[in-house]
Amino acid sequence: MAYVGRFAPSPTGPLHFGSLITAVASYCDARAHNGKWLVRIEDTDIPRIYPGSEDHILRCIDAFQFEADDAIIFQKDRLDLYDAIINQLHKNHLVYACQCTRKMLGSNHIYAGTCRDLNLPFEQQAIRVRVSDQEICFSDRLQGTHCSNLQQDLGDFVLKRRDGIINYQLAVVVDDYLQGMTHVVRGADLLDNTERQIWLGSILGYPKLKYMHLPLAMNDQGQKLSKQNMAQALDLNRAPELLQQAIRALHQPEVDLDTPAHMLKQAIAQWDIQHIPHTKELEGTYL
């Protein structure tokens, strides 16, 4: 079976233990399927890039001895490509300009389609994609069946912001396609994004992907580890210990402390996703 997977962090802060769990799971799952593993830096939201975090990501990949099968790509170098896709969608009448301000939208999280038929010019406006009133479902390898009706749950959503920033959802879908991705392994915090990405993939005619959403590591406040919640940056001097903890967090068989490359090799040989808790959160707390 063909398998191409990826690790796709956003450089909005240094990588933390939750990121390591995702890196390990995506890597072991790809290698256990004799697949390829790619790294992509999701940095389209340029104002949110945290100084030094791209460098920290690259140093982590080295320190944990992950081997990417291709050059690492940076989405901020590919903005023209995403614009070209928006133009393609425009030609097919699948996107439109929206002049609604945050104030006009208020606290309503479901976009009512106010600008759908106004035919506004694209300059200086947000660009939204049309969604349809239908249930989109997928079968997650860990989380089971997950569904959403985008029209009822969300409404037409933004692909490009008024300030020109390309939305994460679009960049993910386009790059997963261009990089030949077959499998997505990532944190369960992204479960609710998946139907939007499936919708975009379907209107662009891209092949379907298989998804696995991992349970999240939580801190002692009951929050997921994240840059916003001040998760500790991965300490590259403790790579073997942290790797052993990440493999444990995924409930995989124990690996011996060794060089990271050897530990990963052992983890790949023992890899079994049935051991991973089929939940959205891991038990226990992490820093």
State yes or no: residue 245 binds Zn ion (CB under 5 A).
no
State yes or no: residue 100 binds Zn ion (CB under 5 A).
yes
Sequence-separated (6 or more) residues with CB below 8 Å from residue 4? 30, 35, 36, 38, 179, 180, 181, 182, 183
Q: Does 115 show up as a binding residue in the annotation?
A: yes
CA 20 from centre of chain = 14
Tokens of 161: 């912001």
List, in sequence order, every residue forming a beta bridge with 149; answer none if it has no partner: 135
Closest to Zn ion by CB, 98 vs 171, is 98
User: Are residues 225 and 15 in contact, defined by beta-carbon separation less than 8 angstroms?
Assistant: no
State yes or no: residue 115 binds Zn ion (CB under 5 A).
yes
Choices 84-92, 108-116, 133-141, 206-214 (CB under 5 A): range interacting with Zn ion: 108-116
Q: Does 111 show up as a binding residue in the annotation?
A: yes
State yes or no: residue 264 binds Zn ion (CB under 5 A).
no
Q: Edge-to-edge strands of the sheet including 4-7?
A: 4-7, 36-41, 73-74
State yes or no: residue 61 binds Zn ion (CB under 5 A).
no
Closest to Zn ion by CB, 84 vs 118, is 118
Q: Does 6 show up as a binding residue in the annotation?
A: yes
Q: How far apart are CA 68 and CA 37, in angstroms?
A: 6
Q: Does 100 show up as a binding residue in the annotation?
A: yes
Q: How far apart are CA 65 and CA 239, in angstroms?
A: 9
State yes or no: residue 154 binds Zn ion (CB under 5 A).
no
Choices 91-99, 144-152, 191-199, 205-213 (CB under 5 A): range interacting with Zn ion: 91-99
Tokens of 148: 């959403």
Q: Does 128 show up as a binding residue in the annotation?
A: no
State yes or no: residue 125 binds Zn ion (CB under 5 A).
no
Closest to Zn ion by CB, 115 vs 214, is 115
Helix (H, G, I), strand (E, B) or coil at 156: coil
The alpha carbon dihedral of 10, 257, 30, 252 has a sign of: negative
Tokens of 243: 């790797």
Find the binding residues for Zn ion in span 179-218 (CB under 5 A): none
Indicate which single residue of 12, 114, 151, 179 sits in contact with Zn ion (rule: CB under 5 A).
Answer: 114
Indicate which single residue of 25, 73, 98, 247 sits in contact with Zn ion (rule: CB under 5 A).
Answer: 98
Q: Which residues are documented as binding site for Zn(2+)? A: 98, 100, 111, 115
List residues binding Zn ion (CB under 5 A). Answer: 98, 100, 114-115
Q: Which residues are documented as binding site? A: 6-10, 42, 98, 100, 111, 115, 168, 186, 227
